[in-house]
């Protein structure tokens, strides 16, 4: 029999792999409506700009040779400088290109961080509910995930502090802005408090913030990183939602001592990220496409979110609670009665050709947590389909009550 590593037979990891298989099934029906996917809208992908940029890049006097050759572990310098000046400084994070490393997306960042910080059995505090893909990565490193309570302002700091004292975690993992899966945002005072707790108890906070630029209403908040006086907060971000998920680009911002280790872990993984993607992304920003692009995609998501809120209020059964996000791609609904959304999903995929993600998979505590909840994505579905799909889904749910 093929012998795999012990890490891969950890029951918690096996259970999470099972959740991923069951909950993130692709929608294959031609008339299907997928409220399950976390992808950006196809209309939000900058195809025309990239056609022009790639033609220029691959002209004889362009950046083609640079794009196709090996590069350095940190990623190309002009992209890192653009990240510092255009994406971080306006949000209050003042850092140099030397403290930014380009990764092959947010998930690779998590793997690099696990690599440098975790020993088997180490504890990570996570949100309840949390982003299940990252849980999978944490479990590959045999970390123990302990859930912390949230409300409409994100993680509850009293619970976080109590769990730090009880479990002595190595890391705290949070998606502070328009969280995946709930759409909830961590309030400003809690962001500051979390940085203070990290300093007080010497814990690393991973601030995973891929949705922060997709704000279509409400006041922008400072990243947790801006309150990080002790060098304990590592900021992870991604180009997937604001540029292109297929480019597989993300970045990590960390203080010198942590960055040194991340850079070695990166070399040992894949030397560096895709130079082709890096050059195309750098040119996209340098040619000034980003501000208008961001305005355009935020307008798309604003319209879709408004349609989703209206449709849920109109068509879901009385007693349904859902979040009202100010940005991002998701809302989270809690159904009345005794509905098990894992069972419901099988039926709606089968009978209605409509998918969402059942709540259970986002809770590391297991059991019945999230049983009657669902993550509903509005990002990739046009408004007319949101109204039709949510009406059909709502009518079906009502027959179960």
Ligand X SMILES: Cc1ncc(COP(=O)(O)O)c(C=O)c1O
Mark the segment that binds ligand X (CB under 6 A) among 49-57, 73-81, 100-108, 225-233: 100-108
Identify the three-state secondary structure at position 247.
helix
Largest CA distance in the chain: 66
Among candidate residues 258, 283, 281, the one with its CA nearest the CA of residue 206 = 258
Q: What radius of gyration, in Å, describes the C-alpha atoms of the chain?
A: 21
Q: How far apart are the C-alpha atoms of 334 and 75, rounded to whole Å?
A: 42
For ligand X, the binding residues in 162-181 under the rule CB under 6 A are: 175, 180
For ligand X, the binding residues in 242-271 under the rule CB under 6 A are: 245, 250
Mark the segment that binds ligand X (CB under 6 A) among 73-81, 83-91, 101-109, 120-128: 101-109
Min CB(3)–ligand X separation in Å = 30
Residues whose CB falls within 8 Å of the CB of residue 63, separated by 6 or more in sequence, listed in order: 57, 279, 283
Report the 10 Å Cβ neighbour count for 267.
Answer: 12
Mark the segment that binds ligand X (CB under 6 A) among 2-10, 52-60, 237-245, 299-307: 237-245
Q: Binding marks (x or -) toward ligand X, 112..151, rule CB under 6 A?
A: -------------------x--------------------
Mark the segment that binds ligand X (CB under 6 A) among 7-15, 24-32, 104-112, 274-282: 104-112
Min CB(234)–ligand X separation in Å = 13
Structure tokens, 167: 């479990």
Min CB(175)–ligand X separation in Å = 4
- Report the residue number, 208 or 228, with the smaller CB distance to ligand X: 208
Min CB(363)–ligand X separation in Å = 16
Number of residues that this document lists for the chain: 401
- Report the residue number, 99 or 182, with the smaller CB distance to ligand X: 182
Given 71, 75, 105, 154, the residue binding ligand X (CB under 6 A) = 105
Asked whether 360 and 370 are in contact (CB, 8 A), the reply is yes
Report the 10 Å Cβ neighbour count for 338.
Answer: 9
Report the 10 Å Cβ neighbour count for 334.
Answer: 17
SS3 content of the chain, % helix, strand, coil (to 5): 50, 15, 40
Asked whether 332 and 183 are in contact (CB, 8 A), the reply is yes
Min CB(107)–ligand X separation in Å = 4
Min CB(159)–ligand X separation in Å = 20
Min CB(276)–ligand X separation in Å = 17
Residues whose CB falls within 8 Å of the CB of residue 339, separated by 6 or more in sequence, listed in order: 372, 397, 400, 401
Given 10, 38, 132, 135, the residue binding ligand X (CB under 6 A) = 38
Q: Is 107 near ligand X (CB under 6 A)?
A: yes
- Report the residue number, 38 or 223, with the smaller CB distance to ligand X: 38
**Number of residues engaging ligand X in binding (CB under 6 A):** 13
Given 36, 128, 226, 240, the residue binding ligand X (CB under 6 A) = 240
Phi-psi region of 375 (alpha: psi -120 to 50; beta: other; left: phi over 0): beta
Asked whether 278 and 254 are in contact (CB, 8 A), the reply is no
Q: How far apart are the C-alpha atoms of 393 and 400, rounded to whole Å?
A: 11
Q: Binding marks (x or -) toward ligand X, 194..233, rule CB under 6 A?
A: --------------x-x-----------------------
Q: How far apart are the C-alpha atoms of 230 and 176, rounded to whole Å?
A: 19
Q: How far apart are the C-alpha atoms of 363 and 130, rounded to whole Å?
A: 6
Asked whether 300 and 293 are in contact (CB, 8 A), the reply is no
- Report the residue number, 262 or 339, with the smaller CB distance to ligand X: 262
Mark the segment that binds ligand X (CB under 6 A) among 73-81, 99-107, 142-150, 197-205: 99-107
Min CB(259)–ligand X separation in Å = 19
- Report the residue number, 232 or 241, with the smaller CB distance to ligand X: 241
Q: Point out which residues bind ligand X (CB under 6 A).
A: 38, 105-107, 131, 175, 180, 208, 210, 238, 240, 245, 250
């Amino acid at each position: 029999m093929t012998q795999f590593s012990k890490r891969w037979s950890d029951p918690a990891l096996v259970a999470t792999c099972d959740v991923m298989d069951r909950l993130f099934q692709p929608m294959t029906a031609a008339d299907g409506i997928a409220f399950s996917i976390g992808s950006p809208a196809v209309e939000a992908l900058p195809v025309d700009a990239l056609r022009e940029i790639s033609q220029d890049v691959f002209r004889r006097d362009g950046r083609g040779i640079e794009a196709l050759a090996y590069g350095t572990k940190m990623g190309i310098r002009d992209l890192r400088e653009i990240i510092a000046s255009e994406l971080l400084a306006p949000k209050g994070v003042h850092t140099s290109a030397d403290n930014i490393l380009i990764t092959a997306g947010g998930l690779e960042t998590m793997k690099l961080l696990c690599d440098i910080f975790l020993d088997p059995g180490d504890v990570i505090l996570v949100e309840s509910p949390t982003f299940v893909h990252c849980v999978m990565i944490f479990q590959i490193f045999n970390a123990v995930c302990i859930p912390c309570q949230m409300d409409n302002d994100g993680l509850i700091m009293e619970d976080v502090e109590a769990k730090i004292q009880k479990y002595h975690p190595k890391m705290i993992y949070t998606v502070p802005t328009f969280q995946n899966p709930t759409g909830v945002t961590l309030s400003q005072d809690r962001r500051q408090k979390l940085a203070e707790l990290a300093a007080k108890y010497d814990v690393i906070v991973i601030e995973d913030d891929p949705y922060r630029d997709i704000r279509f209403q409400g006041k922008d908040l400072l990243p947790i990183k801006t309150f990080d006086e002790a060098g304990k907060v590592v900021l992870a971000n991604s180009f997937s939602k604001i540029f292109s998920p297929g480019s597989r680009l993300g970045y990590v911002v960390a203080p010198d001592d942590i960055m040194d280790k991340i850079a070695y872990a990166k070399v040992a993984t894949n030397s560096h990220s895709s130079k082709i993607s890096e050059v195309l992304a750098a040119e996209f920003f340098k040619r000034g496409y980003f501000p208008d692009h961001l305005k355009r995609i935020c307008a798309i998501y604003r319209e879709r979110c408004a349609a989703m809120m209206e449709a849920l209020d109109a068509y879901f059964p009385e007693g349904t609670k859902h979040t009202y996000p100010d940005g991002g791609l998701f809302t989270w609904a809690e159904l009345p009665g005794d509905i098990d959304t894992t069972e419901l999903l099988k039926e709606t995929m089968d009978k209605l050709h409509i998918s969402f993600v059942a709540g259970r998979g986002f809770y590391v505590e297991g059991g019945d947590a999230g049983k009657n909840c669902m993550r509903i994505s509005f990002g990739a579905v046009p408004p007319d389909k949101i109204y039709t799909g949510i009406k059909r889904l709502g009518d079906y749910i009502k027959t179960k009550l």
